[in-house]
Amino acid sequence: MLTIGYDVEVALGRHGLTQALSGIERQAMNKQRLITELQSYGLRVEESTPGAAGRRGGAGPSDHRAITIDGTTVMVPVYTDSAARSPYTIRATAASPLHLEASGEAVTPIDVPNAPKFYGLTTADGTPYWKIALLHGRDVLATTVQQTCMRYRDPATACQFCAIEKSLDAGRTIARKTPQQLAEVAEAAVRLDGVTHMIMTTGTPNTSDRGAAYLTECAAAIRQRVNLPIQAQCEPPDDFAWFSRMKAAGIDSLGMHLEAVDPDVRAKIMPGKAEVPLTVYYQAFEAAVNVFGWGQVSTYLLAGLGDSLETLVEASDRLINLGVYPFVVPFVPIGETPLAHHPTPSSEFMFTLYQHVGALLKQSGLASADMKAGCAKCGACSALSTFES
């Protein structure tokens, strides 16, 4: 049970972080607001604090730390400018277990996931398993099958928020994971750590399939080794027949990420990706839903890049009507990217956005829990799932 008391709520209110709540929904709304605020403001951590270390760089979630609040695991920014100024901190003392504090006052007990057992293993060629795939949240295995992108090195085409090759440059991953490596790690993650689903994303290669072909090859190898639900993520391929091939290889759900919707925002923030028109994305969504099923296709919408509340809600409504889950996530600036100092969206903006999109999801019957695999099913990078009912 979330233990935000009245006095603490008043203390938080002095810092403009919460509003007074009352009624039978008090505890649920407290939890919603707390998660929303944490993901907007971030979390100040000291490296000596147990479980404080987070993940830097990579394809995402980057510069985050996983914590569990009242049974819900969330990814919270820890290496951002806003996190350095956040009123939220983690504390642990001899008299008190690990807990969250706001401006020096205890808010609620928290837990942090332990390092998974499969991280201690290496492949036959000496590659550590953690360079091949990572544990996200508590039970999700995630990997970037190709850690390079055709747009990344060119400022004229690069997505301004992307850090996909940062972890590669730092030696924390390898450029291309083989299907055999992924199958080996996936089997161990299921056997040793109880992983329940897997996410495979990719940097965009300079091929017309946009990575769908290699994702298909990797999925086939994994499913031959272990029965693990898989979500694949890529840009729309030139030939939508790839969706059927991906499904036949064992991919259960598909993510194709818009990130931003307004044409001017897309052109400014992700000039290369913006060359793929929104009409192509919506055609791809419709074709993918026909293959993977209602609610088994999703897209990221990064709030805070410039899209208005109305634009994001209208896009979410259109996506939901197609059977696509709009995974609304607050933008988190990542160090050493062009948007490293871009402001995060306010918690008030995110809370209102979640309320609108959550109502649309509830009305449609689309639910993150019904997805077989993927980011929306995990839900740790957003508070949206707590607004579905």
What integer pLDDT is reported at residue 124 of this predicted model? 85
What confidence tens digit (pLDDT) does each residue in 104-139 have?
A: 888 999 998 888 999 999 998 899 999 999 998 889
Domains in the chain: ranges and CATH: 6-111 (no CATH), 117-387 (3.20.20.70)
| Sign of the four-CA dihedral 131, 137, 143, 149 | negative
Q: What are phi and psi of 69, to 5 degrees?
A: -120, 115
What angle is formed at CA 66 by the lines to CA 302 and CA 370, rounded to 5 degrees?
A: 65
Residue 58 has pLDDT above 60, yes or no: no
Question: Contact, 348 vs 37, CB < 8 A?
Answer: no
Question: Contact, 108 vs 70, CB < 8 A?
Answer: yes
What integer pLDDT is reported at residue 138 of this predicted model? 84
Residue 33 has pLDDT above 90, yes or no: yes
pLDDT band at residue 25 using 50, 70 and 90 as cut-offs: low
Cα separation, 208 vs 32, in Å, equals 41
- In this structure, the dihedral spanned by the alpha carbons of residues 138, 143, 149 and 154, taken in order and rounded to 10 degrees, is 30
Residue 61 has pLDDT above 90, yes or no: no
pLDDT band at residue 53 using 50, 70 and 90 as cut-offs: very low
What confidence tens digit (pLDDT) does each residue in 246-299 have?
A: 999 999 999 999 999 999 999 999 999 999 999 999 999 999 999 999 999 999
- 373: nearest Cα among 240, 173, 186, 122: 186
